[in-house]
């Protein structure tokens, strides 16, 4: 084996070129950056979004919408799911959790009106949609609001 026969293994890349190590290396003096100018200097390029001093697009466009800091993440349950519970009477978030209709109570339970119920039930939840409330009351049941859970940022 001769030194000129040595090659890197297949798939392996070669070492990065060492710039700025003298004129004899071929990458000395200006270190492959050319002569003068913004790109030749350290920290030379401007970041993404820089448009040559013109007002950038992200600053020209108007801001839209907002983010609610005290967002309530309700667990959603439909009336068609409540209909499956054999225990007639009062339905609470704890019963829904116990029966496996919800995995976690989070900031409370909201009842939505998809599906119908025939028997009169008393449903206790943190929120009701208008259609759910109308369907429960049409079947002879009652909708009772539970006090809302405290969210991050609320002070009492």
Supply the DSSP string of 15-26, one letter for each residue. Answer: PPP--SS-GGGT
What is the arithmetic mean of pLDDT over 57-76? 90
Strand order in the sheet with 109-112: 75-78, 109-112, 127-128
Supply the DSSP string of 38-57, one letter for each residue. Answer: GGGSTT-SPPTT-BTTBPPH
Band the pLDDT of 136: cuts 50, 70, 90.
very high
Band the pLDDT of 152: cuts 50, 70, 90.
very low
For the chain, helix, strand, coil in percent to 5 are 20, 15, 65
Q: What are phi and psi of 95, to 5 degrees?
A: -65, -40
For domain 75-145, give the CATH number.
Answer: 3.100.10.10
Higher local confidence (pLDDT), 151 or 65: 65
Instruction: Please state, rounded to an integer, the average pLDDT across all residues of the chain.
Output: 87
What is the arithmetic mean of pLDDT over 91-99? 89
Does residue 132 have a pLDDT over 90?
yes
pLDDT tens per residue, range 25-54:
889 999 989 999 888 998 888 889 999 899
What is the arithmetic mean of pLDDT over 82-107? 85
State the pLDDT at residue 151.
47
């Amino acid at each position: 084996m001769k030194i000129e026969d040595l090659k890197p293994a297949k798939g392996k890349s070669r070492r990065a070129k060492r710039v700025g190590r003298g004129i004899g290396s071929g990458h000395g003096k200006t270190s492959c950056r050319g002569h003068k100018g913004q790109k030749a200097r350290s920290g030379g390029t401007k970041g993404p979004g820089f448009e040559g001093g013109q007002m950038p697009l992200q600053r020209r466009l108007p801001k839209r919408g907002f983010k609610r800091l005290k967002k309530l993440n309700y667990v959603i349950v439909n009336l068609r799911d409540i209909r499956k519970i054999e225990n007639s009477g009062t339905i609470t978030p704890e019963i829904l959790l116990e029966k496996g209709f919800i995995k976690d109570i989070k900031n409370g339970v909201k009842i939505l009106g998809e599906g119908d119920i025939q028997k009169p039930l008393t449903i206790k939840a943190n929120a009701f949609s208008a259609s759910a409330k109308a369907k429960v009351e049409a079947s002879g049941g009652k909708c009772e609001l539970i006090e809302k859970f405290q969210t991050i940022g609320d002070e009492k």
